[in-house]
Amino acid sequence: MSEPIRTNKPTTRLGRSERRAQIMDAALRVFADRDASDVAFEEIADAAGVSRALVYNYFGDRAGLLEAVYRHHSALLGHVVADALHGVRGPRHSLECVVRAHLDFARRSPNSYRYASGEAVFTHVPELDQERVTALAKMFGDGPSAVLVARGSLSSLQSMVLQWVASGAHDLDGAASAITNFLWKGLSALTEFHPPVGACWWPDLEAARLP
């Protein structure tokens, strides 16, 4: 009687960074067009082809995974905003370019914008909201007033963009003009507000990462 033929399939062991990226890619696919509250760790693990325990090993808990998803989408929006600022002619024009970048990004990727704006995340990870406001407040000086202005500006911008998307995302030019005028009227009245030409108006989350 002959021995059965054995086939030894080579197994691939991924490095830690590659494995984390694999799980992250799966998480982005699962979270796409889904509310964060509706997604279970088991779905992420199944999509990545790994165990639930391994997802916990790389991201700690649900908050850690949501933070990673938020930072991913926020970085995408940050790159779009930075690209929009090439060749700006002054602070108001900088603001207008940023507003248009937000509108265009939200129209093309509404769910990505929801995660970048924190709408789908901050309920679960509220400290991230404070982190980005603190980072943006540096544009408005020091102290509690700067934080208030940063909070109001960012919340107003994102709320108006999300409302525009929800209402059908029509007339980007009209929306950009309305939002820019609304924000600039208040900001230009602040005597301590002197943003540099090309100011990004979007928090540098890596520089502001909390310990």
pLDDT at 171: 96
Angle at 37 (CA atoms; ends 65, 48), nearest 5 degrees? 45
Range name among 4-8, 39-43, 120-124, 129-133 with the lowest pLDDT average: 4-8
pLDDT at 195: 57
pLDDT(81) > 80: yes
| Report for 62-71, 92-101, 172-181: range of highest mean pLDDT | 172-181
**Residues 132 and 115 sit within 8 Å (Cβ to Cβ):** no
Q: Does residue 40 or residue 4 have the better pLDDT?
A: 40
Choose among 113, 107, 99: nearest CA to 182.
99
Q: What is the DSSP string of 164-196?
A: HHHTT---HHHHHHHHHHHHHHHHTT-TT--PP
Choose among 164, 181, 179, 67: nearest CA to 124.
67
Over residues 148-162, the pLDDT tens digits come to 988 999 999 999 999
pLDDT(6) > 70: no
pLDDT at 203: 57
Residue 152: alpha-carbon gap to chain centroid: 18
Confidence of residue 92 (pLDDT cuts 50, 70, 90): confident
**Residues 91 and 201 sit within 8 Å (Cβ to Cβ):** no
pTM: 0.81
pLDDT at 200: 54
Mean pLDDT for 35-49 is 86
Over residues 9-31, the pLDDT tens digits come to 333 577 788 888 999 999 999 88
What is the rounded distance in angstroms from the CA atom of residue 177 to the CA atom of residue 167? Answer: 17
